[in-house]
Structure 1
Amino acid sequence: MNTIVIIVIAVTCIISYLALNDMRMFEKYKFNVGAIQQRKEYFRLLTAGFLHADFMHLALNMYVLYMFSPAILNSFGVSGFLIIYIVSILLGNLFSLLIYKNQAWYSAIGASGGVAGIIFASVSLNPALSEIGIIFIPFVRIPGFIFGLLYFGYSVYSMLKPRSNDNIGHAAHLGGAFFGLIYTIIIYPENAVQNMVYLLIMSLPLIYLAYEIFVRKRIG
């Protein structure tokens, strides 16, 4: 495992821990539509990716990031990994800003956008090698595209269910996943074409989310 992944995880864990114990810091750096639109605090588009709602939210995102990173590092190197992760966080939160632009109260946190980008890029490259062990039962392995289907399915459910207010950036998954996929298509188009069936299966929850947002206008 490349040192850069450990550094990203360590920095995220430290910042998340500090923010969970300092609500002023948490409020200052979380994603908030009103603060971004009215006070032009665009830094929140990035800093929100280093905050988490609780330990389980942090642990899940960092574990998934750790498990899906090797394929990215092997194919794109450190710079490619950082580009996918950081830009996916930014685009994920920009997408959230777009769909919640009329809800100034809306807030969210989490590395979900960046993790979504890493998952999509990894499966695009090689779904056979993209797999993840269940936490505490690492010998049970789940194919990456199946895990992605479940991961995004839960996120879409959490985002669309009535009175959802967990402050986790579920909406960021769509923007992050889009960038991870597009980046891989640009660099390795043949891989993405060969693995299109796996990507389509994994994308089903996000396709449904896009339908709810852009066709039914259920959100925003």
Structure 2
Amino acid sequence: MNDIDIATIAIIGANILVSLKGFNDSYFFDRYKFAIGAIRAGQKERMFTSGFLHVDIPHLFFNMFTLYFFADVVIGWFGQMKFLIIYAISLLAGSLLALFFHKDEPYYSAVGASGAVTGILYSAILLQPNDSLYIMFIPVPIPAYVLGIGYLLYSIYGMKSRLGNIGHTAHFGGAIGGYATTLLFLPSLLQTDTLMVLLLAIPIILLFILEKLGKI
């Protein structure tokens, strides 16, 4: 694997610094976490700052470990600046979708870079859908596009059943952000890889159909 890119180092460093501050300062953590009531009261910056806070070291490590493995794919295709733009848009898209689905839950709160990281993951999958990926407890490689679709379908299930203390909505919103921004930066994918573009859109379309039908 190539040396880690400076843009990836910058994001990981920012997440570590802000998270460590939050671990040791409960006021700071509460002031900048994603909180529906506070956001609706006007503290819109929480939709961005919450993406750099984490609950604990394992939460932080897992997000940064995932980012480390997929960032180089996106940087290799687009360069550092567009990578950072995809990261930021995915972070905000995750927060926007969480706000949309939880707007009537004033006490709902969340933290973590998962939305932004999922956006980078989904962007990398869209760019290289036939790459083989390994996941824990499954000893055979899985095509990247299968993992991407399966992960978003699981996220829909998690949103519907409120499964675990996990921000499934932010994950899904981040994936939408990564998917849309990647197509914005490389619209030729619509012609050169039409099938994969459509396949990776299926969970996104399904989510909004279910929401329109009141099933989620």
Change (3 A) 1:27 1:165: farther
After TM superposition, the structure 1 = structure 2 runs for residues 63-74 of structure 1, keeping only pairs within 5 Å, are 63-74=65-76
What is the alpha-carbon distance in structure 1 between the residues aligned to residue 56 and residue 147 of structure 2?
22
**1:112–1:170 CA contact under 8 A, matched in 2:** no
TM-score with structure 2 length normalisation?
Answer: 0.83
What is the alpha-carbon distance in structure 1 between the residues aligned to residue 145 and residue 113 of structure 2?
19
* Structure 1 unaligned regions, length at least 5: none
**Which residue of structure 1 lines up, in the alignment, with residue 121 of structure 2?**
119
What is the alpha-carbon distance in structure 1 between the residues aligned to residue 27 and residue 202 of structure 2?
38
For each residue in 1:154-205, what CA deviation from the matched residue of structure 2 results, as whole angstroms up to 9, or x when unmatched?
A: 433332225x562x43212333222222222222222244434345544554
**1:156–1:206 CA contact under 8 A, matched in 2:** no
Residue from 2, 8, 13 that aligns with 2:11: 8
**1:72–1:118 CA contact under 8 A, matched in 2:** yes
**Which residue of structure 2 lines up, in the alignment, with residue 145 of structure 1?**
145
* Structure 2 unaligned regions, length at least 5: none
User: Please, which moves more after superposition, 7-16 or 151-160?
Assistant: 151-160
What is the alpha-carbon distance in structure 1 between the residues aligned to residue 92 and residue 107 of structure 2?
19
What is the alpha-carbon distance in structure 1 between the residues aligned to residue 99 and residue 71 of structure 2?
27
| DSSP-derived class of the 1:102 partner | coil
**Which residue of structure 2 lines up, in the alignment, with residue 98 of structure 1?**
100
Q: How many correspondences in the alignment?
A: 213
**Which residue of structure 1 lines up, in the alignment, with residue 60 of structure 2?**
58
TM-score with structure 1 length normalisation?
Answer: 0.82
RMSD, aligned α-carbons:
2.7
**Which residue of structure 1 lines up, in the alignment, with residue 176 of structure 2?**
178
Residue identity over aligned pairs, in percent, reads 37
User: Please, which moves more after superposition, 75-84 or 54-63?
Assistant: 54-63
**1:87–1:114 CA contact under 8 A, matched in 2:** yes
**Which residue of structure 2 lines up, in the alignment, with residue 216 of structure 1?**
214
The amino acid across from 2:14 in the alignment is: V
What is the alpha-carbon distance in structure 2 between the residues aligned to residue 141 and residue 8 of structure 1?
29
What is the alpha-carbon distance in structure 2 between the residues aligned to residue 150 and residue 59 of structure 1?
23
What is the alpha-carbon distance in structure 2 between the residues aligned to residue 116 and residue 92 of structure 1?
9
Shift of 1:141: 4.8
